[in-house]
Structure 1
Amino acid sequence: MDYRTMFRVEEKSIAEIQAAYRDGTTTAKAVTQAFLDRIAAYDRRGPQLWAIVVTNPEAIADAEALDRTFAETGKFAGPLHGIPVLIKDNYDVAGLQTTGGSGALIGWVPQKDATAVAKLREAGAIILAKTTMSEWARGGFDNINSVLPTFARNPYNTAHATGGSSGGTGSGVAASFGVAGLGSDTFGSIRNPSSNNALVGLRPSWALVSRAGMVGLYDGRDTAGPMARTVEDLVALLDVIAGVDPADPATAGAEGKVPETYAASLKPDGAKGKRIGVLRQAFPPNTSDPHVVDLFDKAVADLKAAGAEIVDPFIVPEFKDFPPRSHPLSEVKAAIERYLVTTGPEFPKTLAEVMETEKFHPVHEVSLRATVPAPPPREDPIVHQLEADEEKMREVYDAAMRAAGVDAFVLPVASYPPKLNATAT
């Protein structure tokens, strides 16, 4: 047996894998094959996680090219050299199908990478596979769609939901189908599956990361971001994908605000001297699972032990004035159709045409049909009201934080455990 095949990839970090490349313990080809073998063994077989839509047939060739570069130069191709990553199926990957979870786009193969994907490639990452998601990203608890026949399953307990809409990336990274991955978040779609699958997930500041080449859901809330097992790995991806992109004009606001590396902020004593508020209004006892609250309280205790000053409770006087608000249907329709016009001539160009194909999951039919007649966003009074309310909400929370003297506040991603599949919609 080749000694390089003895390197175990399960739960390995970026640093551990790259250290093994440097000392000759393994190669990018062997690591990539090991992840592909895990996908073959566990995604459609064994526990049948159904996290993967399609694997990249060029992944091994890409890994071999990286191995040649390293052998010839002694240098890595970039900061993510030889790291296999998973990509949510709402990002374009050149040569691989992109569906956004919709059966109406089965067979659509873009010829250009989304900006975030292109940046990963340039950094030496290996694009390993596309992961399943909620249809058109319209699902917070699960990820059922019309592309695959079932939900992705939670590797820690396959009866339970992975969370949505980036549940495929969540399940895949948790199951060591790749080292890390990309998700997208409009209303919790990175945070929910990261929480459900014991990962670290980041919803970055809006438009810190380009959304060009990504199927969106609501431009004013859409974010592209990383998911990983550790904060260090998450930061390694964020360092690569953050930044200004002319193809996404909203990213112009990031000009001059992206540090050379976010890793400089990873300090063991970083909590020391910080005032952190506990927003218990967001998870009242009568609607929260006591086990979740207990785990959260332990995390707060850890922050205190790390030197933070805890303000508990942190109160926002106007909290009840700002309940969760669904995305305006006009914005959802506009986002979907903004992507559809980039597809080939044989694919639908409007949401109405998508519905005419009858290629949608029944769970999503009612909401999709309700979205078809929505007006343009600028003609929608709901959008204008929501934007005004969100601006007021930011002012209210900022005032409350200033009054309490807190640097940040904390709350659980969800106040309940992962739901059972098929009951989470």
Structure 2
Amino acid sequence: MSTSKQDALAALSIAEAAAKLRSGEVTSRQLTEACLARIAVYDPMLDAFITVMKDKALAQADQLDAEQKAGKLRGPLHGVPIALKDNIDTASTRTTAASALWEDRVPPADAPVATRLKQAGAVIIGKTNLHEFAMGAGEASFWGAARNPWALNLNTGGSSSGSGAAVAADLCYGALGTDTAGSIRHPAAYCSLVGLKPTFGLVPIRGIAPLTLCLDHCGPMTRTVEDNAIMLNALVGYDRGDITSVEHKREDYVAALKQPVSGFRLGAPLGFKEGTHPEILRVCEIAIAVLARITAGIKDVSLPSTGDLSIGALGYSGETWAWHEETFRDSPGKYQLASRRRLEGAAKDEPKAPDYIRTKWKLDLLRRTIDDSFTDFDLVVMPTMRKMQPVLNDMFKRIREPKPGDPSALSNCSVFNATGLPAISIPCGFSSDGLPIGLMIAGPRFSEGKILALAQAYERETRWYRQKPKLTPDTLVPALTV
């Protein structure tokens, strides 16, 4: 198959690839080979993958092609190559969390989300890069920082940096990310993707290296909203072995896309404009005007303040320290400098049990009552990020020469990790320099169906997802001062 035909195959959406597979126009092996061909050319530029599972992916694809010939189709993910963030366990394939500490670690079993994707027929094509142990914005990885396909000197957003780069550059059809303070939605906004953080506990996180367990989520990153719904259908479900998992009646999120949005009442939370880059405000205000036109309208609203309950809260560092204490005391030098500083701080200021317990009590009460805020509006909309994509070399300099700052000031995301509410970032346009900008839609617990329906309605009005990064085999790769 010619390179141009392979590139065209790799650029399909999950839904389009599934349709071609069902009709017999293409095979899973052809889809997998198309992605592998692009990985061979572009991953050396992007550092999107830590491990490419070429042989296993092709064997999976052949098995799924044989099943199709025998009349068995598992669903819309059957035979479609998907990538997993490399903090998600995969049996017999190393899972490193982008750390030298786990350079050769091979888990004995798949994480439930990996199992569910395989059962749905997805071909697992590889493990994507990330900020070490998901502790930041993507700049600190033992394997080198992932680069943004829209501009190779820029950050992809993190910590699911490799997943964002891989999907945006057509190296796979979708990927899993994890999100503790925005780590799915950051790269989605910075790479012009759809990234969903589901309701806390809806998608199991067992078998995923935790950052802050009570804030951690796992969710899909895709090029279209329909693709996101397809992946979400495969991921949800109660996991008795996961202490964060919640029971919820199964929904069909693809079917939910068909609901009309004209009656949806939208809210714009007060304060989201503060500290937001003018380009982001300009683009998002245009997007919000489109949403106001296709719904019942939008008004200013207030959501309860999460105050001291977001990622930097007193007590949460204890969850991170509890996971890393033993290995950090034994092998501090195997951590990246940024992670080492964070863990040294956690060790020095290790919170007392009463502090952590009081924080958790507040968090539990907030999550129990947050839906009461959605009285005369159904969903809220706002910019995903407050700042444009930073230059990677500037981020490296900040690691070497740290200055005080609040990472949460970069985005509007962490509030929805504290509340546990579902939130999605969707492409809503570009800056004057051609850089992607994302819009976030959020709603009450388990309102994923409504969120996805509104996101797709906006997507159909604007079709930003059709724009691709201008990446070629001859693209100049700027040097990084790691």
**What interval of TM-score do these two structures reach, taking the shorter chain for normalisation?**
0.7 to 0.9
What secondary structure does 2:197 align onto? coil
Q: How far 1:293 moved relative to its partner?
A: 0.6
1:54-99 Cα shifts (integer Å, max 9, x gaps): 11131111111111111222x3134310110010000011121111
* 1:278 aligned counterpart, secondary structure: strand
Partner of 1:344: none
8 Å contact 1:333–1:374 — kept in the other structure?
A: no
1:368 aligns with 343
Is 1:132 aligned to 2:129, yes or no? Answer: yes
- Preserved CA contact (<8 Å) 1:401 1:407: yes
The equivalent of 2:266 in structure 1 is: 276
Residue 67 of structure 1 corresponds to which residue in structure 2? 65
- Partner SS for 1:176: coil
Q: Report the count of equivalent residues.
A: 393
What is the distance in 1 between the residues matched to 2:113 and 2:306?
Answer: 37
Is the contact made by 2:14 and 2:76 (CA closer than 8 Å) also made in structure 1?
no
The CA deviation at 1:3 is 12
2:285 pairs with one of 281, 292, 297: 297
* Stretch of structure 1 that moved more, 15-24 or 117-126: 15-24
Alpha-carbon spacing, 1:374–1:211, altered in 2? closer, same or farther (3 Å): farther
Q: What is the match of residue 191 of structure 1?
A: 185
Please give the per-residue CA displacement for 1:143-176, whole angstroms capped at 9, x wherever unaligned: 4212x1x210010111110011001101111111
1:86 touches 1:169 (CA, 8 Å); kept in 2? yes
What CA distance in whole angstroms lies between the structure 2 residues aligned with 1:173 and 1:203? 17
Partner AA of 2:312 in structure 1: S
Q: Which sections of structure 2, spanning at least 5 residues, go unmatched? A: 399-482
Q: Which amino acid aligns with 2:289?
A: A
**CA pair 323-186 structure 1, distance change in 2 beyond 3 A:** closer
Cα distance in 1 for residues equivalent to 2:4 and 2:341: 52
Q: What secondary structure sits across from 2:171 in the alignment?
A: coil
Counterpart code for 1:296: C
- Give 1:371's aligned amino acid: A
What is the CA distance between 1:420 and its match in structure 2?
1.2
* Map of 1:266 onto structure 2: 257
Q: Which residue of 2 aligns with 1:40?
A: 40
In structure 2, distance between residues paired with 1:371 and 1:353: 16
What is the alpha-carbon distance in structure 2 between the residues aligned to residue 322 and residue 394 of structure 1? 14
CA distance in 1, matches of 2:2, 2:278: 50
CA distance in 1, matches of 2:369, 2:57: 49
Alpha-carbon distance in structure 1 between the residues aligned to 2:361 and 2:318: 16
Post-superposition CA distance 1:158-213 (Å, at most 9, x none) = 11100110011011111111000100111111111111111111111111111111
Matched letter for residue 337 of structure 2: P
Distance 1:354 1:64 in 2: 42
Report if aligned partners of 1:78, 1:122 keep a CA contact under 8 Å in 2.
no
Q: 1:363 to 1:336 in 2, by over 3 A?
A: closer
Q: Distance in 1 between matches of 2:75 and 2:68?
A: 11
Distance 1:401 1:391 in 2: 18
User: 1:330 is matched with which residue?
Assistant: 318
Structure-2 separation of matches of 1:392 and 1:245:
23
Residue number in structure 1 paired with 2:31: 31
- Any idea what the Cα deviations from partners look like across 1:194-250, whole Å, max 9, x if unmatched? 111111111111111111111011111111111111111111111011001122133
Query: Structure 2: how far apart are the matches of 1:398 and 1:173?
Result: 33
Q: Counterpart of 1:343?
A: none
Match of 1:58 in 2: 56
Q: Are residue 118 (structure 1) and residue 95 (structure 2) matched?
A: no
Distance in 1 (CA, whole Å) between partners of 2:69 and 2:337 is 52
Aligned identity (percent) is: 32
- The equivalent residue for 2:359 is 386
SS of equivalent residue, structure 1 residue 9: helix
Give the whole-Å Cα distance in 2 for the aligned partners of 1:3 and 1:366: 45
